[in-house]
Every structure is written in C-alpha cells, then in structure tokens.
A = this chain, B = another copy of it.
C-alpha cells in the first residue's frame, strides 16, 4: 500500500510517516519502480503499537527502543514493564506537583477575590500574586 493509504488507515499523515521512518521507528519502506514507498500490511500493527505507546505517554524515543528490541527478535515485555514502572513514578510525581500547585493557586485566587486593587503597591506589581 502507498503512504497515503497507510496514513488514512492509521489515522495519521504522510508527513508523520516519513518523519517516523526518518527517526527510525519505521523501517525504510520498499519502493515501487517509480520510487513510491510501498508498505506491507504489518505496518498497520506497528503504527497501532506506536499510537498505543503514545497514548501511554511514552516518548517516540522510548517507543523506538521497544520496537528495536522486538525487531531484534526478543519479546520486549520486560522492558515495557520497566518503562511503565518508570512512567507510573513520573506520573505520581507530576500529579503530586500539580496538586500542590493547584492548592497554592487556589489560595492566591481566594485572596484575589477579595481584591481591593487600589491598595496594590505598584512596586510589587500586584499583591495577589
């Protein structure tokens, strides 16, 4: 199948597919005599995997790593598990940080709601922040 068909079938764009090839997430595609990329149907599964990885918040670099392991003939499940563990740790930290930030902004905002703007000293710009 040609690049446009693959793009439509996987809900992406031809730009993105060429970019993935360039980044090493997709193998260099076969070419027709006229130079068009000619994809085999197994690229559908590979693209779906890439999308699942992205949905899980993995970077393209991490997905590439997993694909590389699979391409070398080894099931990448162990590495996937490690990446997911790491991802959970990062997410927990990120969520905690955002919750903290939310709390302190809510506090600032509550103060700002009582605004008496004219009492705001100019050299502080705004005393509610």
Contact yes or no, A91 B98, CB < 8 A: yes
Cβ of A115 < 8 Å from any Cβ of B? yes
| C-alpha gap A81/B114 in the complex (Å) | 10
Contact yes or no, B42 A81, CB < 8 A: no
Contact yes or no, A49 B92, CB < 8 A: no
Distance in angstroms from A22 CB to nearest chain B CB is 20
What B residues does A112 contact at CB under 8 A?
Answer: 77, 80-81, 84
Cβ of A76 < 8 Å from any Cβ of B? yes
Chain B minimum-CB-distance residue to A123 = B45
Per assembly, the copies of the chain total 2
A-B contact pairs, 24 of them (CB 8 A): A45-B123, A45-B124, A46-B125, A49-B125, A52-B129, A53-B129, A56-B105, A56-B108, A66-B125, A70-B122, A70-B125, A70-B126, A75-B117, A76-B120, A76-B125, A77-B112, A78-B117, A80-B112, A81-B128, A88-B109, A91-B98, A95-B99, A95-B102, A98-B98
